[in-house]
Amino acid sequence: MCGRFAQKDSPRAYTAYFSLDPEAPTPNAAARFNVAPTQSALVVRFNPQEKRPELSLLRWGLVPSFAKDTSRAGSLINARSESVAEKASFKAAWEKPRRCIIPADAFYEWRKEGSARQPFAIALKSGAPIGFAGLWEGWKDPASGEWLRTFTILTCPANPLLAHLHERMPVILRQDDMARFLTASDPADLMQTYPQDEMTLWPVSSRVNGVAHDDAALLERVYPPPAAPEAQASLF
């Protein structure tokens, strides 16, 4: 699954990497190192009026268009790619299509170690941005008439590198497949597990556990404390 991620690059950098129109409006977004559910993040989605993909700021945690309220948004941060075309909450977004790509420079996953949980940052070995496959929806507040636009991240079985952390991982799109994912009638063949030999991970500080922490230090590698020296044998 994916419960936290980082977007440390600028909107202009993502515009260039994802081959978006440099003349299109760009959201004003600061670097983020600990994006959490119900927070806003940069998303690439197709603009049917302009007939081009663009960057938008959407809230993480999908609210289906038919929902009565937003109470379930926190539980719909991920969607299983294997069943997304059948599940009521995601079917319309998959077919319309209202698919999107979520840029990320890394994401976090936790491994249980005794009574503690050690967080790890995960990224591409190349250092290039990750493109998560996702879905977005628009929900109209019946009371105010205002629109809320939200997204979810699609998941697939984890590769061996990540399987010791969690059995699921985000669907990561290759750069050449991104345009087709956004507009094809059925890009189910792109819902593949990304190869482990193109990814890397490293332990990071447990500060990432707190959503209030959002700084570059969260991505720094931490090292285990040195082992306690053995007691020196008595010379007498």
In the set 54, 100, 109, 137, the catalytic residue is 109
Identify whether 54 is a catalytic site residue: no
Identify whether 100 is a catalytic site residue: no
In the set 2, 54, 100, 137, the catalytic residue is 2
Distance of alpha carbon 190 from alpha carbon 172, whole angstroms: 9
Catalytic residue numbers read 2, 109
